[in-house]
């Protein structure tokens, strides 16, 4: 039995040695590499840049009161359309006590003067009817009477303006009615009935009663980095993508590039604006976040291959065509495909990436 076990042990040992030598021999043999075959095709390569920004109305107007007071009525709400000179709200004036007292005093003085002049006029009229005074003296008295009446009416009108902000002689021009200055849509009414408001003056901008804008004329406003702003110019087409509208895309035309940049976190950005081309039946809201895409460079109907097929050696570029290292000249690249300007034609077969088994 011992001889049998020894014999089996030696047989197993020899078999293991032979298998090891066989395995090492196979591993030492060079394996043949297999590559994909890629065909040069005709295509278009574009180099683009993306700008983030917002969709805003071109003209957005803040409506402010001409007088200080309290909002008494609001006739409109955000989202409604308004015409120019259409009333949005009314302001009730809270008169200044000193100004009111001075105006009331002017009314009393004008009334006293009118009463006195009227008495003189009535006496002069009686004397004229009796033929006791000349017509010239009567006409002078009549003129003074008419002037006194006019002064009194003006004093009353001024008092009404101080109290109510409304002139009886020109009520349609009252400054207590807050009217829209343009045709458009009301974007916001930040005040409520009872809120105090002040007019625009040299010390403050005044209270905004409403914001009105033309929503048919929208623009894209964004900022571009200084490294790319030199490659764009006014009139270039853009594609605007709005994420809030299921990534819907709109055509646009670049209209404005700021002549001066602003520094933000160590980088310089230039503001840019583009006019949106809005199809019929599409409604855009102000303030949508959007991305603008601009084609900086483009190669149309050019011979293209995947950039991974290119071999770079010093300042030269090569491809393997029919297993021969062939020099080529490259052009524009989009990071995936690259233009071949010399060395290849449409339909040429070149070596691609290695296929790993």
Both 66 and 124 in one domain: the answer is no
Which pair of structure tokens corresponds to residue 85? 């000179």
Distances, alpha carbon 147 to alpha carbons 24, 108, 156, 191, 277, in Å: 127, 16, 14, 44, 63
Q: Is residue 255 part of a domain?
A: yes
Which pair of structure tokens corresponds to residue 229? 């702003």
Question: Tell me, what CATH number does 319's domain have?
Answer: 2.40.420.20
Q: Which of 8-12, 176-180, 304-308, 348-352 has the lowest mean pLDDT?
A: 8-12
Q: Name, of 19-33, 124-138, 238-252, the range with top average pLDDT.
A: 238-252
Q: Which of 187, 213, 239 is the last residue of a domain?
A: 213
Q: Is residue 14 part of a domain?
A: no
Q: Is residue 282 part of a domain?
A: yes
Both 64 and 209 in one domain: the answer is yes
Both 154 and 101 in one domain: the answer is yes
Residue 173 pLDDT exceeds 50: no
User: Please, which pLDDT band fits residue 167 given cuts at 50, 70 and 90?
Assistant: low
pLDDT tens-digit map of 39-72: 888 988 888 888 999 999 998 999 998 888 889 8
pLDDT tens-digit map of 187-243: 999 999 989 888 877 778 889 999 999 998 999 999 998 888 888 889 999 999 998
Q: Is residue 67 part of a domain?
A: yes
8 Å CB contact between 252 and 275: yes
Both 243 and 183 in one domain: the answer is no
Q: Which helix (H) or strand (E) holds 221?
A: strand 218-225
Q: Is residue 269 part of a domain?
A: yes
Q: Is residue 144 part of a domain?
A: yes
Phi–psi pair at 289, nearest 5 degrees:
-75, 140
Instruction: Calculate ∠ Cα 47-316-308, nearest 5°.
Output: 50
pTM of the model: 0.64
Q: What is the pLDDT of residue 200?
A: 78
Both 283 and 240 in one domain: the answer is yes
Range of the domain at 343: 34-46+299-355
Both 82 and 206 in one domain: the answer is yes
Distance CA 54, CA 219 (A): 8
Q: Is residue 247 part of a domain?
A: yes
Q: Is residue 10 part of a domain?
A: no
The mean pLDDT value for 297-317 works out to: 87
Question: Tell me, what CATH number does 196's domain have?
Answer: 2.40.50.100
**DSSP code, position 80:** -
8 Å CB contact between 276 and 55: yes
Q: Which of 213, 236, 271 is the last residue of a domain?
A: 213
Question: Helix, strand or coil for residue 27?
Answer: helix
pLDDT tens-digit map of 65-115: 888 888 989 999 999 999 998 999 988 877 665 666 677 778 788 788 878
Q: Give me the sign of the Cα torsion angle 126, 131, 137, 143.
A: positive
Give how many domains the chain has, as a whole number.
Answer: 4
Both 109 and 88 in one domain: the answer is no
Q: Which of 156, 171, 186 is the last residue of a domain?
A: 171
Both 238 and 349 in one domain: the answer is no
Q: Checking DSSP bridges between strand 218-225 and strand 267-277, what pairing results, if any?
A: antiparallel
Q: Which of 10-19, 123-132, 246-255, 314-323 has the lowest mean pLDDT?
A: 10-19
Both 226 and 288 in one domain: the answer is yes
């Amino acid at each position: 039995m011992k001889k049998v076990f020894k014999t089996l042990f030696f047989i197993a040992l020899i078999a293991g040695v032979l298998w090891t030598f066989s395995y090492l021999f196979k591993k030492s043999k060079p394996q043949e590499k297999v590559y994909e075959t890629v065909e040069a095709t005709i295509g278009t390569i574009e180099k683009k840049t993306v700008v983030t920004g917002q969709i805003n109305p071109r003209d957005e107007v803040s409506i402010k009161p001409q007088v200080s007071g309290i909002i008494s009525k609001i006739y409109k709400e955000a989202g409604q359309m308004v015409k120019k000179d259409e009333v949005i709200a009314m302001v009730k004036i809270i008169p200044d006590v000193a100004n009111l007292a001075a105006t009331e005093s002017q009314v009393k003085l004008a009334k006293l003067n009118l009463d006195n002049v009227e008495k003189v006029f009535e006496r002069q009229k009686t004397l004229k009817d009796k033929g006791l005074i000349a017509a010239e003296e009567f006409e002078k008295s009549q003129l003074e009477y008419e002037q006194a009446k006019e002064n009194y009416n003006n004093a009353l009108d001024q008092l009404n303006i101080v109290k109510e902000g409304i002139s009886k002689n020109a009520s349609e021009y009252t400054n207590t009615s807050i009217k829209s200055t343009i045709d458009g849509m009301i974007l916001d009414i930040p005040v409520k009935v009872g809120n105090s408001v002040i007019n625009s003056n040299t010390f403050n901008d005044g209270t905004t009663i409403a914001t009105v804008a033309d929503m048919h004329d929208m623009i894209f406003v964004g900022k571009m980095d200084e490294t790319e702003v030199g490659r764009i110019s006014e009139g270039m087409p853009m594609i605007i993508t709005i994420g809030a509208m299921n990534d819907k895309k709109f055509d646009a035309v670049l209209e404005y590039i700021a002549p001066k940049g602003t520094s933000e976190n160590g980088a310089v950005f230039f503001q840019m604006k583009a006019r949106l081309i809005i199809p019929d039946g599409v409604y855009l809201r102000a303030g949508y976040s959007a991305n603008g895409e601009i084609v900086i460079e483009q190669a149309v109907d050019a011979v293209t291959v995947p950039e991974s097929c290119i071999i770079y050696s010093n300042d030269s570029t090569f491809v393997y065509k029919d297993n021969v290292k062939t020099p080529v000249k490259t052009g524009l690249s989009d990071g995936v495909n690259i233009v071949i300007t010399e060395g290849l034609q449409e339909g040429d077969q070149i070596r691609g990436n290695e296929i790993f088994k």
